[in-house]
Structure 1
Amino acid sequence: MKRNVMDRIIDTIEAIAAVFVGLVAADIFLSVLLRRFFSVQIPDSYDFGRMLLGILIFWGIAATSYRGGHITVDLVWASASKRWKRVIDIFATLILLFVVTVQTYTLFDKVRATYNDNVLTYDLGLPTWPFFAIAWAGDVSAVVLIAIRTYRLIFHPEDLHEESHVESAADR
């Protein structure tokens, strides 16, 4: 299968999301291990864990936005013909693109406010705005992936990597 620029962007964003899953798991494991067996707490572990979880959520949104692998229940879509399924998918993806774009805009305001207010972590006094900026970058990635999905739904539906849709009796 030919790998084009869009496929490499998709794979890169999904790999970054996977790295953040690993970081959150490592943070939790290390924090629990040190606290339980050595009675030591990592400075700012609560702040880091909270902010890493926020980053993970936004990069997770990006990772699931393109594939359509999230949980859906849609009786209308399931009973529609192949043509109408595509129309519904395009409409739903355009709505999702609008909503996530607005979310990305408002999250940027949060990054800016955190930077301007000089919000710091409790123990080490580290600035928190870089964590918010990384989460915002995940949201920007979601917009990019949803835009790619919209483009492919409209112009090249054969290039989509559909994993969540099960063929209905109407399609056979």
Structure 2
Amino acid sequence: MREGSERTDPVTRIMHAIAGIALTTMMLVVVGDIVLRAVFGVPIQGAYDVVSIALLVMTMFGIAPVVARRGEIVIDLADPFLPEIVLRLLAVLAALIGVFLFAFFGWAMIAPALDAWRWGERSLELGIPKWPLWGVAFAGLVGIFWAYLLQCRLSVRKAPDAPSEEGGL
């Protein structure tokens, strides 16, 4: 899924929008905090928590659109001389490796999420419970798995597009 194909998939389009809103929120809070601290000597209460939550949302929801459009960094050393069927196989294999890696991340996230729920862990400044944030992270993982499914489906149908010199940067 190259140029613009994530626009046709509503799941990755929504995840992209959520990641963009989180990034915008994070930037506005950081700039506002710096300006208010420098000019008036009054920082934004809870800026640290808001930025850390926005960073979590941006990261977990921003990976899926990149995966869905095959926007990862790709080095096509063997693409010019390998047959299309081998390129398809390699693309499916890469997607499956991605699924296994993120499945491992999800499995490793279960214990800390349960601990945050059991012990009532809270954020530093605002005292927000942290267990719902783990739910946000798991929701992002579901979107990442969806994107890898899209990538597998596309790779089975046709060989992945080699990035152009412009698209590779």
Deviation per CA, 1:1-39: give whole Å up to 9, x if none: xx9xx7222222222222222222222222222212221
Cα RMSD for the two superposed structures? 2.6
Cα distance between partner residues in 2 of 1:128 and 1:38: 31
Consecutive unaligned residues of structure 1, counting only runs of 5 or more, are 168-172
Question: Which of the pair is proportionally richer in helix?
Answer: 1
Distance 1:20 1:82, change over 3 A: same
Instruction: Spell out the pairing of 1:1-172 with structure 2 (5 A cutoff).
Output: 7-77=9-79, 79-154=81-156, 156-157=157-158, 165-166=163-164
| TM-aligned CA deviation for residue 118 of structure 1 | 1.0
Instruction: Tell me the TM-score normalised to structure 2 length.
Output: 0.79
Identity over aligned pairs, percent: 22
Equivalent pairs, count: 159
Contact 1:77 1:88 in 2 (8 A): no
Contact 2:68 2:150 in 1 (8 A): yes
Cα distance between partner residues in 1 of 2:131 and 2:29: 19
Contact 1:90 1:150 in 2 (8 A): yes
Runs of 4 or more off by more than 6 Å in structure 1? none
Consecutive unaligned residues of structure 2, counting only runs of 5 or more, are none
Distance 1:116 1:87, change over 3 A: same
